[in-house]
A and B are shown apart, each in its own frame.
Chain A
């Protein structure tokens, strides 16, 4: 039976690069996937592209490609990535330029385009899933609309001979499903196979989160050598058989526990994990440690895909102003509380227009609120944090200012003030009839 090994080279846009190089050099892999596109990254990249038409792709594209292209080319490892962000074609051209500069002009580089569905959406009455309203009602606050594409166009690019496939918005795990479909010729309506392939992609897409990252809890859940945390490899058979492992000698661990945590990560109803290519069912999945750093995962299933694609809609939401300052030593908590009261009152007296405000003490109640944290002990130091939502930048700036002025106008011995004000590009979702997205492939010459 045929088996492929897929390495997961990044779990988010800013991820470490060394583990990807380690995978390419020592992982005995045929495919290296980089998942680098967060929820709002496309919207931010679209803003960048509006200013500079040749930009709009992942800022680490060049560094990553320079690090892995030589070894991938020499071993015939195919790269699949969503580093195209808002401009996959420009990312493909840039990659071709890098390949040429490295003496690798023979590499075939493909861009998958067509996830940008702004034109198909912007005048429509598609309802927004997160709040009452339609896309049309966002008016000129609307920045971008990108459909989560499935694996099919990426698989087609691989079958057409691409060495590097660069996409924009696509389902994260479809980046992994594409090599399976390409290598094994899985039918796009074999729902159970696609369901098990979805399990594989889902487990791999956050890279270090299944090899011991986001897991360690000293004394209870210890992970060896986290500093050199290695990234995972999925060993997948044409019948969907799956083993998760990692490079021998790398840091971290692949255990039944790390796999179970990642299986449920960002999952709601486990019987209906909706993807562009399939509705996967994780409820019957079995997890079995078969050797050190080798975990067998079976039982993923699926049912027919839906008639819609999820579209991520980026829009200008509001502005956020924030300020922080620290107090320490005896009485720190009381001074921190006094500082919060002062800022609350000053924001009221000066009439700062905020639609939402948070007053909290980092180290006391900032993460889970006063009620959950009610029984905590008094800390040695606290950090005051005030954050507010406003309609414009000017008002947002005033919030941080009222924290900073605590230096000379607040309780004793406040230090390390910090302030910021920023616009908020937020993301909402709509469901688009599947046929309105028309993905295509474009090869770029080196």
Chain B
């Protein structure tokens, strides 16, 4: 078991009530691991209580990255949210805590 943080980096962006989180492999050899294990369903489950809408995943093989678009995430929208982190900028750090099953020599 490894944390996603060991093989990938991430950044959160905001638009209205939608948050997007990129997950980018440090080494492109880990891209298949991301594809197989960092699914929309897992991301949605990981953000239980945060994401009210859908999680859609986009794949960018050229840069070994995934982009997750999560609707209904920012407390009704960045400009009206009651949240301390209205932009959801800290969400990427939570996603990198996801457990990944990787072979010992695969890190």
Q: State the A residues within 8 Å of B (CB).
A: 39-40, 129-130, 214-215, 217, 220-221, 257, 260-271, 282-287, 299, 317-318, 320, 322, 356-358, 360, 362, 366-372, 385, 387-389, 424-429
Contacts and interface: CB of A to CB of B under 8 A. Distances in A.
A267 B67 contact: yes
Interface of B: 5, 9-11, 13-18, 20, 22, 24, 26, 46-50, 58, 60, 62-63, 65, 67, 69, 76-80, 82-85, 89-91, 94
Contacts of A357: 82
Given A368-B91, A424-B80, A260 B13 contact: no
A400 B65 CA distance: 43
A110 to B, nearest CB: 30
Contacts of A263: 63
Contact of A367 (B17, B60, B90): B90
7 contacts: A130-B17, A220-B9, A264-B60, A283-B60, A318-B80, A425-B79, A426-B80
B94 A372 contact: yes
Contact of B13 (A215, A266, A425, A428): A266
Nearest to A375: B97
Contact of A264 (B13, B82, B89): B13
A344 B106 CA distance: 50
B63 A260 contact: yes
Nearest to B76: A356
A429 B17 CA distance: 12
Contacts of B90: 367-368
B11 A264 contact: yes
Contacts of B22: 260-261, 264-265
A369 B58 CA distance: 26
Contacts of B15: 266, 268
Main secondary structure of the interface of A (DSSP, over half): mixed
A269 B89 CA distance: 19
Nearest to A206: B13
Contact of B48 (A39, A284, A287, A372): A372
B19 to A, nearest CB: 10
A132 B82 CA distance: 21
Given A267-B20, A268-B69, 9 more contacts: A261-B22, A262-B11, A266-B20, A267-B13, A285-B62, A299-B62, A322-B82, A368-B94, A372-B46
Nearest to A369: B49
A235 B16 CA distance: 32
Contacts of B9: 217, 220-221, 257, 261
A260 B16 contact: no
Contacts of A266: 13-15, 20
A372 B20 contact: no
A257 B24 contact: yes
A355 B24 CA distance: 39
Given A264-B65, A267-B13, A371 B49 contact: yes
